[in-house]
Amino acid sequence: MTTEKKQTGGSVLFNVLQQHGVEHVFGYPGGAIMPIYDALYDSDVQHFLCRHEQGAAFSAVGYARASGKVGVCLATSGPGATNLITGLADALADSIPIVAITGQVPTSAMGSDAFQEIDVFGLSLACTKHSFQVTNVNDLPKVLHKAFAIALEGRQGPVLVDIPKDVQLAEVTNSLEDFSQLRNKVKLPPANVGSAIALLSKAKKPILYVGGGVGMANAIDELRAFSETTKIPSVSTLKGLGAIDPDDENYLGMLGMHGTKASNIAVQECDLLIAVGARFDDRVTGKLNEFAPHAKIIHFDIDTAEINKRRAADAAILGDLKINLPALAIPLSIADWQQECQKMKQDNAWRYDHPGENIFAPAVLKEISDKMPKNACVTTDVGQHQMWAAQHMLFNDPSNFLTSGGMGTMGFGIPAAIGAQVSRPTDCIIAVSGDGSFMMNVQELSTIKRFQLPVKILLIDNAKLGMVRQWQDLFFNGRLSETDLSDNPDFIMLATAFDIKAKQITKKSEVSAAVEEMLEHDGPYLLQVKIDAQDNVWPLVPPNTANDQMMESI
């Protein structure tokens, strides 16, 4: 494509976004990005004004994770750019494709400690997959196309493009070629599945260890077909939840620090662990040199650097899961092992017969999970509520459970739900939050109000930083340092101030009706659920401990 009309850097940005199918962006204007916001005025791209740049970044992450598209966020220079950093780090840790655009002071002022100048290009090195700073407007179209290509190729991730103000204002003098098909080639050797098939054929007690890479590779069908053919008992990471059908009789649940007892014991006993798009994260492995101690390892991944990083692989299969998983799908004779795993699952099933009148958060989450539409998308913040949601809610696709896995970023849930709702306007979006996390990006209630987004917020309130309090009780002799939040604001009044209908419940008997009211409400809704401040997340594998030595109560 070529065009005769002269365009500025700002208008080029929106033309390229539209070439990549971008309909929605999240951002916050400021001095050094004003030419881009001026170009936005004439663009068909819809902008969602967030109330903090961190909210914009997390909304872009939620948008990308819920839709499979690239999320786009905009911020000005200096503090606008630094406020994006946490969101970019979150996207890098969870391999989420984001393109972040930052304004920069004019090139003539760069390096002079100008007003609102920060070296965001330098800051980006540790928190992006790649980054660019554009100093010639004629380079801008190609750089933007490359940013999209890099965000999506191989292991996905965030890309930042820093654009000085004079470049945004400058006219493009060369033709606007269409680089939308630009792709860097991911150089991977052909997968050799022979050694993996040999390991698989000999295994008596194999386990399928499913990670977030399965959803990212769009290989859910291939994974389920593999699981159906081999009938290997499976476990999931936090980010892999939803990849395996939760009703599969051979599925044992989440593994790791707050994993199910059946999952952790099965992994510790297995003789072959097949890691699929998973990276042996420390929250999964517990004490690394005692993790799956009897197991050979087959490791499927798109990222060469993950192979042998934390655990040596006996067979590594690099490349596209959609191609490589079917190559290993062979029937196995492991009936005894399947039955043993199913029995462990049955013997250690969750119980919801919590004594007393206080509300038991896992039971609330199970009730929502049972009653929400099948295509509902749940986001979480970080803490006890996050682990309870992962344990007690069931998802049929990873794009229906958005949680900050690698970075563990409090404040993720509400803006991520906004992004998810924008990308899936007719689906039920539920943000599960805690009273600590909720206050970290509470300003985004204003974004919900402005765009009348029907996000449902389940606020699990123990007036504590609950997970830190739990660890202080268990591992720091009960010395409760700075975890009391009993001076929280009145959350009902707060939500009402943003025109969000809100209700508080304190007793078990109120749960069912309140959950139904929330799910049936035609608009945004906040349900505040007061729970006992002493409730803990169980099981728990203590730090630097093998996964079969989990605590199940105090």
Q: Would you tell me which residues interact with other proteins (CB under 8 A)?
A: 121-122, 125-126, 129-133, 150, 184, 303-305, 307-309
User: What would the DSSP string read from start to end of 469-521?
Assistant: HHHHHHHSTT---S-B-TT---HHHHHHHTT-EEEEE-BGGGHHHHHHHHHH-
Of 150 and 445, which has the nearer Cβ to other proteins? 150
The Cα angle at residue 417 between residues 234 and 513, in degrees rounded to 5: 85
* Residue 314: exposure state from Cβ atoms within 10 A (0-12, 13-18, ≥19): middle
Cβ(91)–Cβ(21) below 8 Å:
no
Within 13 Å of residue 35, how many CA atoms lie on the same side as its CB? 23
Q: Is 59 helix (H, G, I), strand (E, B) or coil?
A: helix
Q: Give the single-character DSSP code of 186.
A: P
Least distance to other proteins, CB of residue 242, Å: 27
Least distance to other proteins, CB of residue 154, Å: 9
Cβ(220)–Cβ(214) below 8 Å:
yes
Least distance to other proteins, CB of residue 150, Å: 6
Distances (CA, A) of 201 to 45, 92, 194, 224: 53, 36, 11, 19
Within 13 Å of residue 91, how many CA atoms lie on the same side as its CB? 38
- 């009391």: which residue's tokens? 484
Least distance to other proteins, CB of residue 282, Å: 15
Of 56 and 81, which has the nearer Cβ to other proteins? 81
Catalytic annotation, residues: 53, 115-116, 165, 467
Question: What angle do the packed helices 140-152 and 9-19 form, to 10 degrees?
Answer: 30
Of 302 and 389, which has the nearer Cβ to other proteins? 302
Cβ(246)–Cβ(396) below 8 Å:
yes
Of 50 and 318, which has the nearer Cβ to other proteins? 318
Distances (CA, A) of 188 to 122, 181, 302, 319, 414: 29, 20, 8, 7, 38
Q: Is 379 helix (H, G, I), strand (E, B) or coil?
A: strand
Phi, psi of 271 (to 5 degrees): -110, -5
Least distance to other proteins, CB of residue 281, Å: 16
Of 143 and 332, which has the nearer Cβ to other proteins? 143
Q: Structure tokens of 418?
A: 């906004």
Least distance to other proteins, CB of residue 123, Å: 11
Of 157 and 259, which has the nearer Cβ to other proteins? 157
Task: Determine the Cα–Cα distance for residues 170 and 8; give it in Å rounded to an integer.
Answer: 5
Of 129 and 530, which has the nearer Cβ to other proteins? 129
Least distance to other proteins, CB of residue 172, Å: 20
